[in-house]
Amino acid sequence: MATEKINVNINSEIGELESVIIHTPGPEVENMTPENAARALYSDILNLSVALPEYNEFKLILEKVAKVFDVKDLLRDILQNDKVRSTMISRICRHESVEEACRLLGDLSNEELAKQLIEGVEMQKDTLTKYLDNERFSLHPLPNFFFTRDASFSMNDKVMISRMASKVRERESIIMEAIFDYHPAFSTQTVNPVKTFDHSGKATIEGGDVLIASENIILSGISGRTSSQGIDAMLEYLKTKPGTKHLILQELPYEPESFIHLDMVFTFLDKDKCMIFEPLILYSSRHLTIHITIEDNKVVEISEEKNILDALRKLGIDLEPIACGGHRDTYIMEREQWQSGANFFAIAPGKVIGYGRNTHTMNELNNHGFEIIKARDVIKNKVDIASYEKYVITIEGDELSRGGGGARCMTMPIRRKAVEW
Let me know: does 267 contact 343? Beta carbons within 8 Å.
Answer: yes
Those residues whose C-beta lies under 8 Å from the C-beta of residue 267, and which sit 6 or more positions away, are 13, 211, 274, 275, 342, 343, 344, 345, 346, 408
284-304 burial, b at 16+ Cβ within 10 Å, e below that, comes to: beebebbbbebeeeebeeeee
Ordered per-residue pLDDT tens for the chain, 421 residues: 346 899 999 999 999 999 999 999 999 988 766 555 555 444 567 889 999 999 999 999 999 999 999 999 999 999 999 999 999 999 998 888 877 777 889 889 999 999 999 999 888 888 898 888 888 888 889 999 999 999 999 999 999 999 999 888 999 999 999 999 999 999 999 999 999 999 999 999 999 999 999 999 999 999 999 999 999 999 999 999 999 999 999 999 988 778 999 999 999 999 999 999 999 999 988 899 999 999 988 999 999 999 999 999 999 999 999 999 998 899 999 999 999 999 999 999 999 999 999 999 999 999 999 999 999 999 999 999 999 999 999 998 889 888 889 999 999 999 999 998 7
pLDDT for residue 103:
80
Q: With respect to residue 421, please indicate whether it lies within any of the assigned structural domains.
A: no
pLDDT of residue 46: 82
Cβ–Cβ < 8 Å for 10, 156: yes
- Asked if the structure places residue 3 within a domain, the reply is no
Range of the domain at 335: 8-416
Single-letter amino acid, residue 40: A
Query: How far is the C-alpha of 301 from the C-alpha of 221, rounded, in Å?
Result: 19
Q: How far is CA 403 from the centre of its chain?
A: 13
390 found inside a domain: yes
The CATH number of the domain where 233 resides is what? Answer: 3.75.10.10
- Please give the backbone phi and psi of residue 237, each rounded to the nearest 5 degrees, phi first: -65, -45
> ∠ CA(392), CA(396), CA(401), 5° rounding?
100
Residue 374 lies in a domain: yes
pLDDT of residue 44: 61
Separation between Cα atoms, residue 377 and residue 373, nearest integer Å:
7
Residue-wise pLDDT tens digits, 350-394: 999 999 999 999 999 999 999 999 999 999 999 999 999 999 999
Question: How far is residue 361's CA from residue 336's CA, in Å, rounded to a whole number?
Answer: 7
Please report whether residue 1 resides in a domain. no
**Residues designated as active site:** 409
Looking at residue 37, its pLDDT comes to: 53
What's the confidence (pLDDT) of residue 1? Answer: 35
Residues with Cβ within 8 Å of 41's Cβ and at least 6 positions away in sequence, in order, are 144, 166, 168, 169, 404
2 falls within a domain: no
Q: What's the structural domain count of the chain?
A: 1
Render the burial of 41-71: b for 16+ CB within 10 Å, e for the rest. Answer: bbeebbebeebbebbebbbebbeebbebbeb
* In a domain? residue 177: yes
Residue 332 CB neighbours (<10 A): 18
Residue 361 lies in a domain: yes
Give residues with Cβ within 8 angstroms of 31, minimum separation 6.
119, 120, 136, 137, 141, 143
pLDDT given for residue 36 in this prediction: 56
Give 249's contacts (C-beta < 8 A, 6+ positions apart).
Answer: 219, 220, 221, 222, 231, 288, 289, 290, 291, 292
What's the confidence (pLDDT) of residue 277?
97
